[in-house]
Amino acid sequence: RMVSEADPELRIKTALSEPRTEATASTVAAAILAGAPLWIAVAQPEDGGPVGVAESRTATGERFLEVFSHPLELLALGRGDQAVPLQKEQLAKAIAGDEGLTGLLVDPAGPWIRLTRDDLGALLALAE
């Protein structure tokens, strides 16, 4: 099952593992737009409250939705969240629908990258 859930081309992880250049963000964004598999981290509180979706916040208050290139990337964080598959159209709607989101944090356990709304322009166009 681990292998079947992986992107056969490993587009995102390959881009994140290579030396960083000015093109790395656009390479990862293009892989997302091309349909590389993604997952989000969700948590259901024990008290039955609303489901939470993992975000990261910077010291300056920027909010980044955490996304993962494989469910094992989420397990590496050891938080107990559940990996839920996410289609690029769903991702586009989620970001477009929340003006407070600055962008994405891809594979937070590392190697990772932050993608801003500018980096994700072509993806956000899917939500229109």
Identify the band that residue 25 occupies on the pLDDT scale cut at 50, 70 and 90. Answer: very high
Given a cut of 80, whether residue 111 has pLDDT beyond it is yes
Residue 3 pLDDT:
66
Can you name the residues that pair with 66 across neighbouring β-strands? Answer: 105
- Of residues 46 and 22, the one with the higher pLDDT is 22
Residues 85-98: pLDDT tens digits?
Answer: 999 999 999 999 99
The residue among 11, 4, 2 whose CA lies nearest residue 73 is 2
CA-CA distance, 43 to 84, in Å (whole number)?
10
Residue 2 pLDDT:
61
SS (H, E, C) 50-89: CCEECEEECCCCCEEEEEECCHHHHHCCCCCCEEEEECHH
Identify the band that residue 16 occupies on the pLDDT scale cut at 50, 70 and 90. Answer: very high
Range 52-71 average pLDDT? 94
Residue 1 pLDDT:
61
